[in-house]
Amino acid sequence: MDTTTSFAKPLLLCGVFVLTACSEQVSIDNSGPIAGWTHYGGGPGGGHFSPATQITPENVHALEVAWVYRSGDFNDGGNYRDGMNPPDEPVQSSFEVTPILVNDRLYICTPYNRVIALNPETGVELWAYDPELEQNSYALRHCRGVSHWRDSEAAPGQACRDRIISGTGDGRLLALDADTGKACTGFGKNGQVDLHEGLGEHELAEYGLSSPPAIIDDRIIVGGSVSDNVKTTVPGGVVRAYDVRTGLLDWYWDPIPPGQEPVLDDAGDQRYQRGTTNVWSIISVDPDLGLIYLPTGNTSPDYYGGHRDGLDYYSSSVVALFAETGEVAWHFQTVHHDIWDYDVPAQPTFFEFEKDGQTIKALAQATKTGNLFLLNRETGEPLFPVEEREVPQGAVAGDFTAPTQPFPTKPAPLHPTTFTPDDAWGFTFWDRGVCRDAVESLRSEGLFTPPSLQGSIHYPSAAGGNNWGSPAVDPQRRLLVINTLRMASIIQLIPRDECDAAEIKRQADPLASRYGAIEPQEGTPYCDLRWISFFSPLGVPCTPPPWGTLTGIDLQSGEHVWEVPLGTSRDIAPFPFWYIDGAPNIGGPLVTASGLTFIGATTDHYIRAFSTETGEELWKARLPTAAHATPMSYRLSEAGRQYVVIAAGGHFALGTPAGDHLTAYALKGN
């Protein structure tokens, strides 16, 4: 259905939401390249790189708001910092989209999975398609992006020659005509494929899509986002390839150990094994190599694995599949027997590596542990040695821990690996003391401290380290830029017969009811109490600042070139406590050929520009809420301006307010 809302009006006022008044006018150089953005990550292997050079370190201070588009698709809901929501109340929406630019149009999806086409120079809405999701039919309200495919066999002007492919939170795959927004009726059933088919009986909200589908040749590749910590029998994490013209299933990969057959229910509608590792994040493809690169999550549930019996063979890994068949080419595991929710959350990011006079096709894999693995993307072999090191032991009864875990020798970790009582932090002597007492009462033995009955601190938290924002790569400077979240979470396992009493106790504790939640983990001997963020009574992290960093890494040497705090404590702390550098963050960076890195991501409501070479902050602009998305950039013509576009819509996990602002910046000049 084509729809247009009353909110769908671009704002073209100078200085709207900008830190300063209207920017000074500068002379604009039109001699540089024009540049598009045809994939979510800028290219099929990510990288978030734009060859545009009109905006430079010298003139970035003259950026102004060119337009703002608002869809109206957001809700305040609730967030993890305010406790878990009642079952009938939706979680707060998060506007995480990175637009793509195809045929001089911008395409986005909203948290309600409406797909919208915009004029990229004015922000005017051209069409909108509404899949009409039932608002209580899916768990999380976010959509990170859409994909594009052109039919080489179709004539110009033919319907659905250019297609926008998108997933939905309630588990559908959509194919739309890029020119009109109408459904491609020859795809699936009236332009839709039901991704619940073959998963077996389950709740609708247990399975959906939050990341853009990948496309290689004439195949759409999709994973799926599966509910965490609910039960062992959630839908499986199968990866499927569909014909982009017809929507017919081409092949599937069931992530079970080699040589095993899936264990299925008696019901005849199940095709894929339940509870397997899923692929919820962004998939990369290399058409030249004919390979698909999957960042895998956990085998369900996250914090107990005594029942898995080897089912986590592909968990927390980079898995390369052959595009023609779906067979495994290679896989590299970043965490063994993952019981920390340290799944691989980021897009496998391509770059080229020089060794002994040869060019190696490589990828960088960011992880929630803060370890960055640099791999040969043809073979999966590490570019720098990876060491198996001993880690803390002592899992709960019925489970076990791997004796060692893999650590790259280069690059150095992006996140601290220990957190002691002496490290506890707070605004005041009182709240620091509360944090210190909490650390002393919990297991905190560094990275890979196992979940426990006592309660364990996981540092990094289950949100990272690094997350789905993914790194940016400047291929000219051979620099990788990545943002890191430096916070802790708390996990306590509770024997099954004590779970009801634990929930009553949690509700009676103001701090626990505000920050913690009981999760059932049905099918295991334990439920869990999870604090996704470890905050003081005054609402700031108990871990020491900086809580967020931005790092530049030389991809040839593996060395950190620079590292700076990212953001400030503004908007999470009351005035005058805005001075603390390094804010919690979720989102990713954009790099341009002119030597600029743009990023939002922080809990303070800003977009910033940094020097890619030095990490120096050069510019920032105030937004109406936090921008937990990855920006993109484009320039349409030789006479046109270069735009930087970012979505600002808050995030439920960080407690930043919901919103629906898509903002474009360009130079003010003549």
Distance CA 92, CA 77 (A): 4
Query: Is 641 within 8 Å of 614 (Cβ atoms)?
Result: no
- Please, which residues have CB within 8 angstroms of residue 46's CB and are 6 or more apart in sequence? 40, 282, 284, 347, 348, 349, 350, 470, 471, 473
Closest-CA residue to 520 (of 546, 500, 541, 550): 500
Query: Is 665 within 8 Å of 21 (Cβ atoms)?
Result: no
Cα distances from 477 to residues 331, 501, 538, 608, in angstroms, run 29, 57, 42, 20
Distance CA 230, CA 527 (A): 9
Is 660 one of the annotated active-site residues of the chain? no
Distance CA 265, CA 254 (A): 15
Closest-CA residue to 237 (of 225, 249, 247): 225
Cα distances from 597 to residues 325, 453, 510, in angstroms, run 38, 44, 41
Identity at 631, one-letter amino acid code: P
Query: Is 362 within 8 Å of 383 (Cβ atoms)?
Result: yes
Cα distances from 30 to residues 12, 27, 55, 549, 644, in angstroms, run 22, 10, 10, 34, 16
**CA 347, 350, 353, 359 torsion: positive or negative?**
positive
Which stretches does DSSP call E strand in 532-592? Answer: 548-554, 560-565, 589-592
Query: Is 459 within 8 Å of 444 (Cβ atoms)?
Result: yes
**Tokens describing residue 81:** 């910092």
- Annotated active-site residue in 338, 341, 343, 571: 341
Query: Is 198 within 8 Å of 253 (Cβ atoms)?
Result: no
Cα distances from 592 to residues 45, 60, 172, 490, 589, in angstroms, run 16, 12, 34, 38, 10
Reading across the β-sheet that carries 284-286, which strands appear in turn? 284-286, 291-295, 317-322, 328-333
Number of other residues whose CB lies within 10 A of the CB of residue 567: 30
Distance CA 101, CA 284 (A): 18
DSSP 117: E
* Cβ density class 468-501: b for 16+ within 10 Å, e for less: bbbbbbbeebbbbbbbbbbbbbbbbbbeeeebee
- Please, which residues have CB within 8 angstroms of residue 625's CB and are 6 or more apart in sequence? 605, 648, 649, 650, 656, 657, 658, 659, 661
**Tokens describing residue 292:** 């698909």
The DSSP-derived string for 576-619 is TTT--B---B-S-EEEETTSEEEE--BSSSEEEEEETTT--EEE
Beta bridge partners of 667: 63
φ, ψ (nearest 5 deg) of residue 454: -70, -30
CA angle 572, 575, 576 (to 5 degrees): 120
CA angle 573, 579, 583 (to 5 degrees): 65
Annotated catalytic residues are 341
